[in-house]
Amino acid sequence: MKKTQKFNLSKEKRDQMVSSIKRYYENEKEEKISDLAAALLLDFFTNELAVEFYNQGVYDSYLFLNSKAEDLLGIQK
């Protein structure tokens, strides 16, 4: 089993994300959920899913920088 990295969020950012989850449930699912339920859902996303988005961002950055480095070699005289 792969160990997941825990993401550290500031209290302000965490509170914003919990509010966003609650707003999503209310607007899209027409359900109200508690702060605790939204926080638990946020914990699931950050502990189980966020690492995949992070890794994809790292990989995309690598590809971008690598392509720019190749462009740089093209200006040699």
Read off the pLDDT of residues 10-53 as tens digits, 9 standing for 90 and up: 999 999 999 999 999 999 999 999 999 999 999 999 999 998 99
Residue with tokens 């005289």: 77
DSSP 39-65: HHHHHHIIIIIHHHHHHHHHHHHHHHH
Establish if 3 belongs to a structural domain: no
Q: What is the pLDDT of residue 31?
A: 96
Single-letter code of the amino acid located at 11: K
Establish if 5 belongs to a structural domain: no
Q: CA quadruple 47, 50, 18, 11: dihedral positive or negative? A: positive
Establish if 6 belongs to a structural domain: no
Establish if 28 belongs to a structural domain: yes
Q: Is this model's pTM higher than 0.75 or not?
A: no
Range of the domain at 48: 11-73
Establish if 65 belongs to a structural domain: yes
Single-letter code of the amino acid located at 22: K
Establish if 1 belongs to a structural domain: no
Query: Could you give the CA distance from residue 21 to residue 42 in angstroms, rounded to a whole number?
Result: 8
Establish if 68 belongs to a structural domain: yes
* Number of domains the chain contains: 1
